[in-house]
Amino acid sequence: MIANLTNTAGNLALQLLRFVGGMTMLAREMWYSIWLRPFYPFLIIEQMYQIGVRSLSLVAATALSTGMVMALQFGYGLQKFGGKLYVPKVVALSLIRELGPVFTSLMLAGRVGAGITAEIGSMNVTQQIDAIRALGTSPIKKIVIPRVLACLIVLPLLTVLANFIGVLGGMFIGMSELGIDAQFFYQKAAYTVTLTDFSVGIAKTFFFAGFISIVGCYFGMNTTGGTQGVGIATTKSVVTASILIVISDFFLTKFFWILERWL
Amino acid sequence: MAVIEVKNFAKSFDKKVVHRNVNFQVKKGECMGLIGGSGSGKSVILRSLIGLEKPNSGMVNVLGDDITQFTEKELVPVRKRVAYVFQGGALFDSMSVADNLSYPLIEHTTLSPSEIKSIVEETLQSFGLSGSEKIMPANLSGGMQKRVGLARAIILEPEVILYDEPTAGLDPFNTKKIQEKILELKEKGVTSILVTHDMPSAFAVCDKMALLLNGVIAAEGTRSELEFKKGSVMEKFINGDEF
């Protein structure tokens, strides 16, 4: 039994090392290639459309629902203690600092991360990645870099939109369910949220965008085993990106609190 | 002079030894058929000739350069001169037929869009694929996909072409079309290696054949040389006998 446990632990450690090593190698290769010609700006724009514009409805629905639910929960909860008037502050602050960036990133990890892995994985198993190389071009430049850059550009923008829609959702519930005046809601929210709160939330999304896109590309580029392999890689990609977002969020929050105190 | 030279080539995947010591040469304008059982590593050798795989040891000399230690960047000039025809065509499924053919021209030439368009049209016409410019690869038949794959591979007019089972799974009409194209390219002086299980096609287009068996080239020679060797491994392989 102990031998089995050691074996399993050893295998897991090996897999983890392989994953970390593979991701590092991919990121390193990307970093060196990004500065070299040729550049493909149209591919980045196309990916921005695929990743950003086509995720708008999902992000908007999630943000709206989150804002509304939070306002409702805090509204009814705080009402008992006469703290209903704190709802705008709590909703705006938690959305902009934490929930907006994290929920938007998790949604994108599901939609975009899965899409990236499935697309690249299918290309891999049908030898299209090999064809890119055989035709004297780089899959890193043609496939990986446009997706990573597009993700780094659009995720912060989507988060700004999600924050706005979330607060609007909270405001709507404040008005319709809690009897809080819209003007009051806006004033309290605007007074509470500082530029630092907003910046910290957005800064986190750059890390999350990196996790989603690089993990998606890594699993796609390493897909083996035909269509079944594509399915497995896609699941792994979404799970890994989501876990990385959730875990890193804690450390990033801690890091930014320290940074804020320091500055 | 040998355009392709493989010397002491050895390759393993994890603990499985696929090639122990492979040696062969292909001269300029020659077409060599590389045959062998399934899983014998024919495609791996072909992939190594364009740097898609790296051998564990040995030398792979292509057009005068030992490419075994080449980086991806160093391989680019080699890949412009050596074309690889993939078994399934490996067409980019997000691009139309015309875009697939334009891809190498856009990447490696300074031709204008109108010049590229005219080259693409000409190439498609020579493959009997006129009018298929806007079709997406998913809507093409297997035979058409292979022909488009071949058309894309030769559009930069390479000096060497590596064919990975170009006629596998094709009907006699498409097989003949591909054979004719390979012969046409051979007449133009293109050096080529044909990996195949399709013996009639191999005999129709190849100047010489090499049999890959147990990680080495077990037999090699021209068609006439091989036909005289009755009872040899090559004859047994071709006839499907046990050896």
pLDDT at residue B239, as a whole number: 74
* Contact flag A135-B152 (C-beta cutoff 8 Å): yes
pLDDT at residue B48, as a whole number: 96
Q: What is the mean pLDDT of chain B?
A: 90
Residue of B nearest to A134 (CA): B79
Among the partner-chain residues A128, A134, A137, the one whose CB lies closest to the CB of B50 is A134
Q: What's the token pair of residue A133?
A: 């190389």
Residue A250 CA to residue A258 CA, distance in Å, equals: 12
**Which stretches within A34-99 are classed as H helix?**
41-51, 56-79, 87-94
> What would the mean pLDDT of B151-158 be, rounded to a whole number?
94
* Contact flag B52-A38 (C-beta cutoff 8 Å): no
Please report which confidence band the pLDDT of residue B227 belongs to, taking 50, 70 and 90 as the band edges.
low
pLDDT at residue A74, as a whole number: 92
**A11 in contact with chain B, both atoms CB, cutoff 8 A:** no
Residue B148 CA to residue B163 CA, distance in Å, equals: 13
Helix, strand and coil in chain A, % to nearest 5: 90, 0, 10
Q: Check pLDDT > 90 for residue B200.
A: no
pLDDT at residue A82, as a whole number: 84
User: B55: left (phi > 0), else alpha (psi -120 to 50), else beta?
Assistant: beta
**B150 in contact with chain A, both atoms CB, cutoff 8 A:** no
**B152 in contact with chain A, both atoms CB, cutoff 8 A:** yes
Model confidence over A54-110: pLDDT tens digits? 999 999 999 999 999 999 999 999 888 888 889 999 999 999 999 999 999 999 999
SS3 of residue B5 by DSSP: strand
**A130 in contact with chain B, both atoms CB, cutoff 8 A:** yes
Residues A163 and A63 sit within 8 Å (Cβ to Cβ):
yes
| Distances A215 to A108, A242, B20, B104 between C-alpha atoms, Å | 12, 10, 36, 29
Model confidence over A12-21: pLDDT tens digits? 999 899 999 9
Residue A131: its chain B contacts at CB < 8 A? Answer: 84, 86, 90-92
Quick one: which of A168, A162, A174 has its CA closest to A198?
A162
Residue A135: its chain B contacts at CB < 8 A? Answer: 79, 103-104, 107, 152
Quick one: which of B104, B95, B100 has its CA closest to B136?
B95
The lowest-confidence range among A41-55, A164-178, B189-203 is: B189-203
Minimal C-alpha gap between A193 and chain B (Å): 44
Model confidence over B103-138: pLDDT tens digits? 999 999 999 999 999 999 999 999 889 999 999 999
SS3 of residue B160 by DSSP: strand
User: A40: left (phi > 0), else alpha (psi -120 to 50), else beta?
Assistant: beta
* Contact flag A130-B52 (C-beta cutoff 8 Å): yes
Q: Check pLDDT > 60 for residue B96.
A: yes
Please report which confidence band the pLDDT of residue B203 belongs to, taking 50, 70 and 90 as the band edges.
confident
How many helices and strands in chain A, by DSSP H and E? 12, 0
Model confidence over A196-218: pLDDT tens digits? 999 999 999 999 999 999 999 99
* Contact flag B107-A137 (C-beta cutoff 8 Å): yes
Quick one: which of B99, B65, B98, B94 has its CA closest to B79?
B65
Q: Got the DSSP string for B32-43?
A: EEEEE-TTSSHH
For residue B31, give the H/E element and its range. Answer: strand B31-36
Judged by CB atoms within 8 Å, which residues 152-171 of A form the interface with B?
A: none
pLDDT at residue B177, as a whole number: 86
Minimal C-alpha gap between A84 and chain B (Å): 53
| Distances A11 to A8, A15, B204 between C-alpha atoms, Å | 5, 6, 51
Residues B40 and B213 sit within 8 Å (Cβ to Cβ):
yes
Model confidence over B139-150: pLDDT tens digits? 999 889 999 999
Going by C-beta distance under 8 Å and a sequence separation of 6 or more, which residues neighbour residue B19? B9, B10, B11, B12, B41, B44, B45, B55, B215, B216
Residue A130: its chain B contacts at CB < 8 A? Answer: 47, 52, 84, 86, 90
Residue A102 CA to residue B178 CA, distance in Å, equals: 54
Q: What's the token pair of residue B173?
A: 């009409």
> pTM of the full predicted structure?
0.89
Among the partner-chain residues A122, A133, A136, the one whose CB lies closest to the CB of B108 is A136
**B13 in contact with chain A, both atoms CB, cutoff 8 A:** no
Residues A195 and A90 sit within 8 Å (Cβ to Cβ):
no
* Contact flag A136-B79 (C-beta cutoff 8 Å): yes
Please report which confidence band the pLDDT of residue A1 belongs to, taking 50, 70 and 90 as the band edges.
confident
**A133 in contact with chain B, both atoms CB, cutoff 8 A:** yes
Q: What is the mean pLDDT of chain A?
A: 94
How many helices and strands in chain B, by DSSP H and E? 9, 10
* Contact flag A130-B104 (C-beta cutoff 8 Å): no
Q: What's the token pair of residue B80?
A: 């412009």
**B37 in contact with chain A, both atoms CB, cutoff 8 A:** no
> What would the mean pLDDT of A232-240 be, rounded to a whole number?
96
Residue of B nearest to A29 (CA): B72
pLDDT at residue B238, as a whole number: 75
Sign of CA dihedral B126, B130, B133, B136: negative
Please report which confidence band the pLDDT of residue B206 belongs to, taking 50, 70 and 90 as the band edges.
very high
pLDDT at residue B106, as a whole number: 94
Instruction: Count contacts between A and B (CB, < 8 Å).
Output: 52
**B92 in contact with chain A, both atoms CB, cutoff 8 A:** yes
Half-sphere exposure of B36 (CA within 13 A, CB side): 26
Residue A38: its chain B contacts at CB < 8 A? Answer: 107
Q: Check pLDDT > 70 for residue B17.
A: yes
Please list the residues that pair with B19 across neighbouring strands: B11
* Contact flag A135-B104 (C-beta cutoff 8 Å): yes
What values do phi and psi take at B185, rounded to 5? -70, -35
pLDDT at residue B223, as a whole number: 76
- Length, in residues, of chain B: 243
